[in-house]
Structure 1
Amino acid sequence: MFSATVRQFIAASLACIGVFTVGMSFAWSAPILDELLSEDSPIPMSSDEGSWLVAIIEIGNYMSPIPGAYAVDAIGRKWTFLATGPVTALSYIIAMYTRSVLGLYIVRCLQGMAMSVVFMVGPMYLAEIAEVSIRGTIGTVFQISLHLGILFTYVLGSELSYMNYQIYSLIVPIVFMATFIFMPESPYYYVSKNQDEKAIESLKWLRNKTADQVEKELR
């Protein structure tokens, strides 16, 4: 139905909804910080606590690389990537209901954990599903999605109330989970696990070729 190039761009684009999500997470605190520091704040905090809210995402970044590195080989690139969706969604749900600064710190740590894993597994997945001729082009989708997510957050946060901001933000990881789950696993992951039949099925979809044709690529 679709050419190999289109199929690979579909898989990359749906994967990069997850990248878009962590771009949103990176900038999440910026457009609402003034509201949180105001007298009418839904969650009153001091300026020092506001500074920590921005910075504490880095603690989350340090928490997930080792388990993430284990997961990419244990359960695969796709499922490790997909697992960042529930983590990010949970962060927005907590942000909707918490009324404490500590709760917001937990939100930022969860966002940082998801971000670190996406930065690790995202380029790996994109490189492993793409043909050499379009690998560089597909790689640019990662950076574009990241910065679009940041831009989207600034626009969204400046126009919505605190609660509506969380609700609309929550939609994005849900869309990511609902769509990327149907994409194939990296064929190179299957090869590394000696699951050649699954690797062939993955490549058949990505390359839009027969089993005999993709077997040549696996050799």
Structure 2
Amino acid sequence: MAQPVEQPVKSKTLVVRSAVIAALGGLLFGFDTAVISGAERSIQELFQLDGFWHGFTVAIALIGTVVGSLTGGKPADKYGRNSVLMAIAVLYLVSALGSALTSSWIGFLIFRFIGGLGVGASSVIGPMYIAEISPAALRGRLVGLFQFNIVLGILLAFLSNYMVASMVTTDAWRWMLGIESAPALLFLVLIFLLPSSPRWLVLKNRREEAADTLARLGVADVGAQLKVIEESVYSEQHLQTERLFVKRLRVPVMLAILIAFFNQFSGINAIMYYAPRIFEIAGLDHASALFQSVAIGVTNLVFTMLAMSIIDKVGRKTLLLIGSAGTVVSLGLVSTAFFGDEPAGGAVVLVGLLGFIAFFAASQGAVIWVYISEIFPNRTRAKGQTLGSSTHWILAAIISWLFPVVVGGDRMATSYAFAFFTLMMLLQGWVVWRYFPETKGKSLEQIQEEFGL
């Protein structure tokens, strides 16, 4: 069978604008993830929580994220990517206002769980939508916008926490959490400007609408591109099964699980959720710890931008290999800094964490959502995104729940935790080198054909 050739685009305006709007879900994703780091100490004191229930309270949003990532794909296939993006915006809005205004621990848990539902669904639907409207030559950078907005949201959350803590003396944590409602409302309004995914329209046999959308997206030869999508969809619709865990899909399934596994066992969310506490264990006061968290956010943003600019040139696999080497060195430095009776102190910890964030952002952080959105065929892409995302968030919930229980305020326990993360990144480097194929510069249909799908 001849390899399908994706058609070039005449104009990138609508494609880029739509990707930017859809990626706002990533900004809310990042903000919601990081904002709790500034509020978690006050919440623990307010509700008088021990280590176990404190970890659970921080992780409840991630538990919601697991549910959201598992359930987001099916309505996206049934009702469309746009409708689900609107629902996600509403979840973010309700969660922000509810978490800020509630006076009970149970109410707080419920509203944070609702926000987690939005994060989980967004991690599936946002990259999926952007991948399906983007030409191959731009897909890596445009799907990378989602990751860029995640790290921008993380930076804004760290910065917002620091500013609120500096200006508000009573119930600052409520302002920290409530501010998210503003970008959530903006996201909800802008979603109405998005075109439908042409691939989803073809899946729903709405050929004329798909052709019209491809034309609006600037595809040079609409007929040829529509034929490429239709042939791919037709071949998939005549398969005996839609199940994900079948022999023919074992390669993309394995890759999705592995990249999500190593993403979380790098320790990234333990750092994002507990960065101020980690700096305090290293000897910094609370205000300085919040400020150092801003430095982490800035580094994350800068190196994500770097990765976005080179991901379609350097390639996904190469970035993962470089990132593996860099994170091993950086995490090893942090582990060493906490080790022994006379630890190295806050400055060394800051250097190690900034190095880790730089290498992580330039590799795993930028690659994961791009890679998972590329490796599954149209008919199972939603399920594949759900698999990768849910694996990612289940592990994130476990690590974020257990990290404060295991580490507490002990330097040696912290050293051992970072030594474990170091070993995981060493293992990631070998697995990526041995098993991960390169996908840069290939259409979704070409990738499917190379996988024998």
Counterpart mapping for 1:1-219 below 5 A: 4-38=11-45, 43-48=46-51, 49-160=53-164, 161-207=172-218, 213-219=221-227
Inter-partner Cα distance in structure 2 for 1:92 and 1:146: 17
Q: Distance in 2 between matches of 1:137 and 1:62?
A: 26
Listed one character per residue, the Cα deviations across residues 141-175 of structure 1 (whole Å, up to 9, x for unaligned) are 11111111111111112222334334421001111
Q: Is the 8 A contact 2:30 2:154 kept in 1?
A: yes
Compare CA radii of gyration and give the structure with the larger one.
Answer: 2
Whether the 8 Å CA contact 1:65–1:116 is kept in 2: the answer is: yes
RMSD: 1.8
Aligned-partner SS, 1:56: helix
Instruction: Indicate the structure whose relative CO is greater, using CA pairs within 8 Å and at least 6 residues apart.
Output: 1
Report the TM-score when normalising by structure 2.
0.44
Which letter maps to 1:99? S
- Judge conservation of contact 1:16–1:141 (CA < 8 Å) in 2: yes
Shift of 1:90: 0.5
Report how far residue 125 of structure 1 moved.
0.6
**Structure 1 runs of 4+ with >4 Å offset:** none
Deviations 1:54-106 (A, max 9, x none): 11222212222343121011111121122110011110121132101111111
Distance 1:125 1:98 in 2: 34
**Are the counterparts in 2 of residues 32 and 158 from structure 1 also a CA contact under 8 Å?**
no
Distance of 1:82 and 1:96 partners within structure 2:
22
Q: Which runs of 5+ in 1 are unaligned?
A: none
Q: 106-115 or 57-66: which moved more?
A: 57-66
Q: Distance in 2 between matches of 1:217 and 1:71?
A: 26
Read off the aligned partner of 2:21 and give its amino acid letter: L
Q: Deviations over 1:27-59 (max 9, x none)?
A: 121111233345xxxx43324343222112222
What's the TM-score, normalizing by structure 1? 0.88
Count residues with an aligned counterpart: 210
Give a deviation string over 1:9-39, Cα, whole Å, max 9, x none: 111111111111011111121111233345x
Counterpart residue identity of residue 15, structure 2: Q
User: Secondary structure at the residue paired with 2:217?
Assistant: helix
Q: Tell me the distance in 1 between the aligned counterparts of 2:73 and 2:210.
A: 21
SS in 2 for 1:46: coil
Relative to structure 2, which stretch is displaced further, 67-76 or 45-54? Answer: 45-54
Contact 1:26-1:111 within 8 A present in 2 as well: no
Aligned in 2, Cα 1:88/1:45: closer, same or farther, shift over 3 Å? farther
Amino-acid identity (%): 24
> Aligned partners of 1:4 and 1:53: how far apart in 2?
47
Matched to 2:204, the amino acid is K
| 1:31 maps to amino acid | G
Contact 1:72 1:80 in 2 (8 A): yes
* Aligned partner letter, 2:86: L
